[in-house]
Amino acid sequence: MKRRGILRLGATVIAGTALGGLAGCTSAPEIAPVPVDPVTGKAVKLKEEPYRLGTGDKVKITVFRHEDLSGEFEVDGNGYLSLPLIGEVRAEGLTARELEDELERRYGDGYLVNPKISVEILNYRPFYILGEVKEPGQYPYEPGMTVLNAVAKAGGFTFRAKQNGILLQRGGADAPPVVVPGNTPIQPGDIITVPERFF
């Protein structure tokens, strides 16, 4: 039921204002920004956990007192880092802290005495935005981005966009889609789909 520009969608009430061009990342205030299942209309909770590394992430590894072992490295297509002295180390699925622990274990296993290692994420893997945006595709992730920021990066909505039914998948293409409001924070690797409206 639509009344005074507000569209009620299951457990979520989303501002139904026209964001057409989305020149900036401005939008009308949204009420009760709760992600919902597009089939049942029930509220759901998106996964929020420490960031886990994946293919395409770039990290800076510092091995204290060993500049020759330090540097910038990228997680390859198989989820591994190729590092001096110890070779390949699986990074996919690990947090930065877990990777630090694994590297200290590996370097301490016959190579260095009591190694101290830090891991800093330099570049995150991209997110994807599909459907009714002007320039769908993959885009570099920046910390603090929201769904509307992602739409703006993709050139804004097309005139056919269903702006109050944006879908987000977190955890890969097989993850269930969730209807989210525009101010929802996104994560690297998220897949955003703006569906077409049929009226």
Q: What tens digit of pLDDT does each residue of 60-69 get?
A: 999 999 999 9
Task: Determine the Cα–Cα distance for residues 105 and 12; give it in Å rounded to an integer.
Answer: 47
- Domain residues of the chain, as ranges? 1-49+125-199, 58-123
Q: What is the pTM of this model?
A: 0.70
Which CATH fold would you assign to the domain 1-49+125-199? Outer membrane lipoprotein wza fold like (3.10.560)
- Of 63, 58, 64, 48, residue with least CA distance to 121: 58
User: pLDDT value at position 47?
Assistant: 73
pLDDT confidence bin for 162, thresholds 50/70/90: very high
User: pLDDT value at position 33?
Assistant: 61
Residue, of 49 and 85, whose pLDDT is higher: 85
Task: Determine the Cα–Cα distance for residues 118 and 109; give it in Å rounded to an integer.
Answer: 17
- Of 17, 11, 5, residue with least CA distance to 157: 17
Q: What tens digit of pLDDT does each residue of 16-60 get?
A: 333 344 444 444 444 446 788 787 877 887 777 788 999 889 999
Task: Determine the Cα–Cα distance for residues 157 and 163; give it in Å rounded to an integer.
Answer: 8
pLDDT confidence bin for 172, thresholds 50/70/90: confident
Mapping DSSP to helix (H, G, I), strand (E, B) and coil, where does residue 58 land? strand
Find the mean pLDDT for residues 155-179.
92
Cβ partners under 8 Å of residue 58, min gap 6: 72, 73, 74, 75, 121, 122, 123
Whether domain 58-123 has CATH 3.30.1950.10: the reply is: yes
Give the chain's count of helices (H) and strands (E). 2, 13
